[in-house]
Chain A
């Protein structure tokens, strides 16, 4: 059996076992979380009724106190002035109260106010009230079909006046319960997602990787190479023991070899010839190989791509927590006496973040080359930690902007370090797989982070959510410390050789490059940062949605990209429709946004995000190919990485502008109009891009295969 088949067999075996493990663990988790949820809901139910009653009594007392005071000042009960305003004020402050009604001693209704909400028809009058037979000492609670009515007596020193009826809206209460259920379900789903992630990593780290090394040692041994040891022999489990055992065997053989050499003083060449005489094929090659290997023993490195996966995910997860509410926080911190219009001020944290991210990236590249990915990853976590920690306590918008700059720098450093590590470990052949890990980590973190962040912000508040982000950053640091091996010899030369202005100008002279950048890359980024990051939370909040809901809606984007991305890539790859896919992607994004402009409501926003996600998936998988296709000469002269680098830079510059552009549009015409304008713009760009290259050939090189 060849080594590759052996490896494959083992891997499929391990995979089957892990699937079973995952299923079992999922079952356990589902059971545990369901039980937890069930009991939480039960507690909520039993606590709810008394709480509602208490609230109604407190609210009612406010009104009865005010009324009795007025009557004691000599105002007759039926001549009270401004009761409508008073009752409305109370209704505004208590969303669960549906109506307030004052009746006199004979149950004649005197004053009645319903909750007024926009667009709803007026609630039908509550059923006529039957005064209780004996005078009320304490508030009385009655349950009706639509309302829970609390009756409070209205008494003054002179005697009994009447009653106040406080109607708690059962519909509102049911809505609250549903919200909690949604939150629990979301948490359940995300918990499972994160558990799977952790499970995959643990299986890879503890099973697959060591197993691969065992196989490798055995294979090397089969080839006659005993000068090989693995560094994975540190764990105390069965595989660790096995590897240690194998290492010992190899070591002893090597020692024997050297002792024999010493004892007999026969030259190595002659010995090698003796040892391998049986093997007629090998001949000189075998001798040379053995000689080479004895001089340069092979050390199988610990650590592959899987080591990075978990800490990277944890870090991204922490960063994505604020996705659903950062614009809302900025609005909260805004003060009109700042001198800047509100919409711009709110866009500042985003743009600053993106600008610093853009600027820090090349520096991060240089630093990674000097210090190695592991150190830079840890270093990058510092500004992120500071950024989150300080944001959790800030009360000033300008401070928030400064801290976002810190986070931007940190994010750049961590991302570049991660890519550096991936490049080191995977080499050019497995580069795509390695980058897929990076991409998946950020998308899954996006799903989890936006959903959970929304719930946390709703229940705990913005500040504490940032504290959680900070803690996750610390956790990521800990994981890197433990999981990522110390600096390895770098396989790939340092970064792209600098992004000089000259290179940029060269590229700009290529009209097809300009089309791609202007009509595809930049609009996409503008829509992503401007519409998705900046506008969506603000608009949805404006429509009256809580951050939990906003988080769940934004989650759609990441989910769709993860689920649809691979299918899209496969489709377009096989048919070679890269350029068309890219245009279609931009068009889709634009269409969704036009819908939002036309119809108000959360549904169109969800659809727009769906469109954006599918569109982005199409663009992301095909854009690199198109880029390299339109710049064959520049790739040859400047190198692929440089071209890619400059392209990304321009892309990100567009991204940094996004929030400002949308802030400007929103200030002019409101959220819907701004979205519609962006949608139209995207449509135009998509069409323009499609038209700009109608006669291009279809075959395009793959990024990994092109010569660097």
Chain B
């Protein structure tokens, strides 16, 4: 009896262990190894690339890996996930320093800042001697990751710009339907959102349109109030714009479905500079760079550094000059605002 109990305890421990590690895999928990453990180490085949993501290896990260495979560049990747927790970044910095990769790939502004810090500080805690390539970073100058839009101005940092120029976006809208009134709803508490409105306003003269800019009403807590959405959309619709421009801000992103639904209900087509409102919401038209391409562009920069020996600081910030247009057909049918025939031949049609 005692033997059975003992064996049972072993069994339970074993099960727990197995379950634990299994769940660890499923939940994608990757704890950084202890500082003295060098074995999460390189197997000596090809370039050593350390990838830091914010929420796991998504499409752009996959695009990055694909590029190396497609071009037969031998490389080994160690992929880390910050799990949207800024506190993890110092640990990841440590590990990076210890592992001494040939290149670090950083996804997003927070990760990048966490790894290399702002350009105008000398703080030694940040990584300054290992080449870093960043992708999926918005507002790189405002967040002080780079000195300018053209070059990073930092010896060990190279970057990519995935944003589509506003002028191209506005011309895409024009290609769908000519417009002379464009509406944009923005978050007055977010600096980025306000700046976006000003950026669009700069084109009112050259592209000959009026901009209707409505701020989101703030609630008692000083933040935008979701309950006010229907009213704000109605107010905007009353001014009869031909298109509604989706300015990316966290509030609208969180409420993308409700927001776009309201717009469609008022017969307002929504244009977006990113895929989210099209795929998860009822936006009509979008012009953006596919995430896979974003990853591939970053991989191209990495190739310049690893294979061709270019210093990261010498590389210009890479950007696209052709973008993908996507049209949401069900919304087009609902609005009875059909795409022009020529657009149909090259835009991606989403059903």
A73 to chain B: which residues have CB within 8 Å? 329, 344, 349
Given known A73-B329, A74-B329, A74-B333, contact A66–B345 (CB-CB < 8 A): yes
CA A70 – CA B332 in complex, angstroms? 12
Report B-chain residues with C-beta under 8 Å of the C-beta of A67: 341
Structural contact, A80 and B345, CB atoms closer than 8 A = no
The one of A69, A74, A85 in contact with B340, judged by C-beta atoms closer than 8 angstroms, is A85
Contact A82 B349 (CB under 8 A): no
Of A67, A69, A75, A80, most buried by chain B (CB within 10 Å of CB) is A75
Number of interface residues of B (CB under 8 A): 13
> Is A263 in contact with chain B by the CB < 8 A criterion?
no
Q: Could you tell me if A86 and B329 are in contact, using CB atoms closer than 8 angstroms?
A: no
CB of A138 within 8 Å of the partner chain: no
Q: Residues 305-347 of chain B: 1 if any A CB is under 8 Å from the residue's CB, otherwise 0?
A: 0000000000000000000000001001100101111111100
A80/B349 in contact, CB under 8 A? no
Nearest Cβ on chain B to A67's Cβ, whole angstroms: 8
- The answer to whether the Cβ of A79 comes within 8 Å of any Cβ in the partner chain is yes
Mark A50-89 against chain B: 1 for CB-CB distance below 8 A, else 0: 0000000000000000110110011100011111011001
Question: By CB atoms of chain B within 10 A, which of A69, A74, A81 has the most?
Answer: A81
Given contacts A75-B338, A81-B338, contact A70 B333 (CB under 8 A): no
Kindly state the separation between the CA atoms of A86 and B342 in the bound complex, as whole angstroms: 6
Closest-by-CB residue of B relative to A83 is B341
Do the beta carbons of A82 and B329 come within 8 Å of each other? no
Give B340's nearest chain A residue, CB to CB: A82
Contact (Cβ within 8 A) B342 A70: no
Smallest beta-carbon distance B273→chain A, Å:
23
**B329: shortest Cβ distance to chain A, in Å?**
5
Closest to A89 in B: B342
Scoring B residues 283 to 309 as 1 if CB is less than 8 Å from chain A, else 0, what string do you get? 000000000000000000000000000
Count residues on chain A whose CB falls below 8 Å from chain B CBs: 15
Q: A579 to nearest B CB, angstroms? A: 63
* Chain A residue at smallest Cβ distance from B341: A86
Residues in B with CB closer than 8 Å to A79 are 336, 338
A367–B23 CA distance with the chains assembled, in angstroms: 93
Instruction: Assess whether A66 is in contact with B341, with CB atoms less than 8 Å apart.
Output: yes
Q: Judging by beta carbons under 8 Å apart, are B341 and A70 in contact?
A: yes
* Chain A minimum-CB-distance residue to B175: A82
* Binary CB contact string for chain A from 233 to 249 against chain B (1 if under 8 A, 0 otherwise): 00000000000000000
User: In whole angstroms, what is the CA distance A108 to B191 when docked?
Assistant: 56
Instruction: Tell me the residues in window 441-466 of chain A with beta carbons closer than 8 Å to chain B beta carbons.
Output: none
**C-alpha spacing A79/B340, complex, angstroms:** 10
**CA gap between A80 and B336 in the complex, in Å:** 11
Question: With the chains together, A67 CA to B341 CA distance in Å?
Answer: 8
CB of B344 within 8 A of CB of A69, answer yes
B251 shortest CB reach to chain A, Å: 33
CA distance A82 to B327 in the complex (A): 16
Whether B345 contacts A82 by the Cβ 8 Å rule is no
A81-B333 contact given A66-B345, A73-B349, CB 8 Å threshold: no
> Are B333 and A85 in contact, CB atoms less than 8 angstroms apart?
no
Nearest-CB residue, chain A, relative to B177: A81
Indicate if the CB atoms of B341 and A85 lie closer than 8 Å: yes
Question: CA separation between A75 and B335, bound complex, in Å?
Answer: 11
For A74, the chain B residues whose CB sits under 8 A away are 329, 332-333
Whether A81 lies near B339 (C-beta < 8 A) is yes
Q: How far is the CB of B269 from chain A (nearest CB, A)?
A: 13
**B341 contacts A80, CB within 8 Å?**
yes
Contacts of B345 in A (CB 8 A): 66
Q: Is the CB of A81 within 8 A of B341?
A: yes
On chain A, the residues within 8 Å of B339 by CB distance are: 81
- Taking CB atoms, residues of chain B closer than 8 Å to A80 are 338, 341
* Distance in angstroms between the alpha carbons of A69 and B345 in the assembled complex: 9
Q: Is A70 a contact partner of B329 (Cβ separation < 8 A)?
A: no
Task: A8 to B24: give the CA distance in the assembly, Å.
Answer: 116
Closest chain B residue, CB of each to CB of A88: B342
Residues of A within 8 A of B338 (CB): 70, 75, 79-81
Q: Within residues 189 to 232 of chain B, which ones have a CB less than 8 A from any CB in chain A?
A: none
A82 touches B333 (CB 8 A): no
**Min CB–CB distance B340 → chain A (angstroms):** 3
Complex: A83 Cα to B344 Cα, angstroms: 11
* Contact partners of B344 in chain A: CB under 8 A: 66, 69-70, 73
The CA of A79 and the CA of B335, in the complex, are separated in Å by 13
Give the docked Cα–Cα distance between A82 and B342 (Å): 7
Q: A86 to B344, alpha carbons, bound, how many Å?
A: 11
User: Which residues of B lie under 8 Å from residue A75 when comparing CB positions?
Assistant: 333, 338
Determine whether the beta carbon of B340 is less than 8 Å from that of A81.
yes
| Distance in Å: Cβ of B173 to nearest Cβ of chain A | 14
Chain B residues contacting A82 (CB-CB under 8 Å) are 340-343
Chain A min CB distance to B285 (Å): 13
**Which chain B residues lie closer than 8 Å to A86 at the CB level?**
340-342
Give complex CA distance A66, B345 in Å: 7
Q: How far is the CB of A164 from chain B (nearest CB, A)?
A: 13
Residues of A near B343 (CB, < 8 A) are 82
Do residues A85 and B342 form an inter-chain contact, with CB atoms below 8 A?
A: yes
Q: How far is the CA of A266 from the CA of B221 in the complex (A)?
A: 146
Q: For B336, list chain A residues within 8 Å (CB).
A: 79
Q: Roughly how many angstroms separate A73 CA and B333 CA in the complex, as a whole number?
A: 9
Q: Which residues of the partner chain B approach A85 to less than 8 Å between Cβ atoms?
A: 340-342
Residues of A68-123 contacting chain B, CB below 8 A: 69-70, 73-75, 79-83, 85-86, 89
How far is B332's CA from A309's CA once the two chains are assembled, in angstroms? 76
Instruction: Find the residue from B341, B344, B345 having the highest chain A CB count within 10 A.
Output: B341
Contact indicator per residue, chain A 257-286, by CB within 8 Å of chain B (1) or not (0): 000000000000000000000000000000
Residues of A601-630 whose CB lies within 8 A of B: none
Chain B residue nearest to A66 (CB atoms) is B341
- The docked-state distance in angstroms from the alpha carbon of A206 to that of B333 is 87
Please report the C-alpha to C-alpha distance between residue A81 and residue B339 in the assembled complex, in whole angstroms: 6
Nearest CB in chain A: distance from B193 CB, A: 32
**Least distance between B203 CB and chain A CB atoms (Å):** 23
Q: Which residues of A contact B332 (CB under 8 A)?
A: 74
Chain A residue numbers with a CB within 8 Å of B333 are: 74-75
Task: Give Cα A74 to B343, complex, Å.
Answer: 15
Question: Looking at B333, B338, B339, which has the most chain A CB atoms within 10 Å of its CB?
Answer: B338
Q: Which residues of A contact B349 (CB under 8 A)?
A: 73
* Cα A85 to Cα B343 with chains together (Å): 11
CB distance from A61 to the nearest CB of B (A): 14
What residues of B have a CB within 8 angstroms of the CB of A83 in the complex? 341
Distance in angstroms from A70 CB to nearest chain B CB is 6
Q: Interface code B56-69, partner A: CB below 8 Å = 1, 0 otherwise?
A: 00000000000000
CB neighbours of B329 from chain A (8 A): 73-74
Minimal beta-carbon separation of B96 from chain A (angstroms): 41
Chain A residues whose CB sits within 8 angstroms of the CB of B340 once the complex forms: 81-82, 85-86
A242-B7 Cα distance, complex, nearest whole Å: 130
- In whole angstroms, what is the CA distance A83 to B342 when docked? 8
CB distance from B337 to the nearest CB of A (A): 8
Instruction: Kindly state the separation between the CA atoms of A273 and B45 in the bound complex, as whole angstroms.
Output: 110
* A379-418 with Cβ < 8 A to chain B: none
Could you say which residues of chain B place their CB within 8 Å of the CB of A69? 344
Q: Smallest distance from the beta carbon of A73 to chain B beta carbons, Å?
A: 5
Q: Which chain A residue lies CB-closest to B333?
A: A74
A80, closest chain B residue (CB): B341
**In the complex, how many angstroms separate the beta carbon of B334 from the nearest chain A beta carbon?**
10
Closest A residue to B343 by beta carbon equals A82
Contacts A/B (CB < 8 Å), 21 sampled = A66-B344, A66-B345, A67-B341, A69-B344, A70-B338, A70-B341, A70-B344, A73-B329, A73-B344, A74-B329, A75-B333, A80-B341, A81-B340, A81-B341, A82-B340, A82-B341, A82-B342, A82-B343, A83-B341, A86-B340, A89-B342
Q: Which residues of B come within 8 Å of A, CB atoms?
A: 329, 332-333, 336, 338-345, 349
| Besides A70-B338, A80-B341, A81-B338, 13 new A-B residue pairs in contact (Cβ under 8 A), listed by A number | A66-B341, A70-B341, A74-B333, A75-B333, A75-B338, A79-B336, A81-B339, A82-B341, A83-B341, A85-B340, A85-B342, A86-B340, A89-B342
For the complex of A and B, the 8 pairs showing the least CB-CB separation, nearest first, are: A82-B340, A86-B341, A75-B338, A82-B341, A81-B340, A74-B333, A81-B338, A73-B329
